[in-house]
Amino acid sequence: MSSPVPDETNKEGGAPSYAGRKRPHALTLAVYDPAAAEQRANAASLSLSGALVPFLAQPVDAAPINAVPLSAVAPRAEPAWIRAHFNLRLDLTVTFIDEKAVTATDLDPQQNRFRLPTAGVLRSLRPILSPEELDAAKIPCEGAKEAPRPSMLPPTEEEVQQGKIKRKKKQGKKHGGLPVLVCNVHAGTKQLQLTRWESSHGNIIKGEGYLDFITRCCFKEKDIVEIWAFKERSFRLFGVDMCHASPLYIVLTKKEQPPAASVVGMDECTM
């Protein structure tokens, strides 16, 4: 026999009775608030802002720091005495050309010239010269094709036969050159010429009085010599000459090297 179904209606008020059972959730009516909805959306976007998102960056045209040559980062420091010695303006650039070891031919009276490193001349000296100055020094302009070196003609049969034909001694070719002022802290300043040999494409300093000048420089064979250059260009402002053009100065100075531990004093040039 089945149990009787309890009466869910309150006899007094007519409302349903939920005694002994779960009361169902009451339905509530909420009013939509646009401002509150926007705040919730912003909070959700901020919570996702720190999330890791895959990203492929564009390639950068740069080299790692260890691939940059040190010479491009730290330029050569000019000798401290140059500006005071020549009374140069602070904004005048003194350009480092190159360094070289003095050779026996640089001091040889028969050679009578000082050879400059070709790479340094083309890289550092050429940019500070005008086209007219480059032409006078026989230095090719940037981008110009190098003239081929003249080839030595083979001797003829008559020249091979000794004693029959006397070969005439060839006279030295006059190279000319660009007038420059070559300077040294011991030798002072001397006007010489900067030119270029057509045969070997070597850049040299030569001229009358070179041997006396290079002797007073106190250079010895295998000394490391730095080569610097500067030139003042004319500058006019409102029709007034603010600065006059100067010749090209080439400074030859022995590279400063720390003395050895056994050396007490420094050698001085007494010439």
pLDDT digits (tens, 9 = 90+) for 220-253: 999 999 999 999 887 777 777 777 788 999 999 9
Determine, yes or no, domain membership for 248: yes
Determine, yes or no, domain membership for 37: no
Q: Higher model confidence: residue 55 or residue 189?
A: 189
Please report which helix (H) or strand (E) contains residue 78, including its range.
none
Query: Percent of the chain at pLDDT above 70?
Result: 59
Determine, yes or no, domain membership for 129: yes
Determine, yes or no, domain membership for 268: no
Determine, yes or no, domain membership for 195: yes
pLDDT of residue 265: 38
Residue ranges with strand state E in 87-214? 95-101, 113-116, 178-184, 188-196, 203-206
Q: d(Cα 210, Cα 123) in Å, to the nearest integer? A: 25
Domain count for the chain, please give it: 1
Q: Which domain holds residue 136?
A: 93-143+175-256
Determine, yes or no, domain membership for 107: yes
pLDDT of residue 200: 77
Tell me if 50 sits within 8 A of 68, measured CB to CB: no
pLDDT digits (tens, 9 = 90+) for 116-134: 999 999 999 999 999 999 9
pTM of the entire structure? 0.61
What does residue 84 show for φ and ψ, rounded to 5 degrees? -70, -35
Q: Higher model confidence: residue 104 or residue 260?
A: 104
* Parallel, antiparallel or unpaired: strands 178-184 and 248-254: parallel
Determine, yes or no, domain membership for 105: yes
Q: Higher model confidence: residue 170 or residue 99?
A: 99
pLDDT of residue 261: 45
What mean pLDDT comes out for the span 88-99? 93
Determine, yes or no, domain membership for 152: no
CATH of the domain at 134: 2.40.330.10
Q: How would you label 44-55 residue by residue, b for 16+ Cβ within 10 Å and e otherwise?
A: eeeeeeeeeeee
What mean pLDDT comes out for the span 186-192? 96
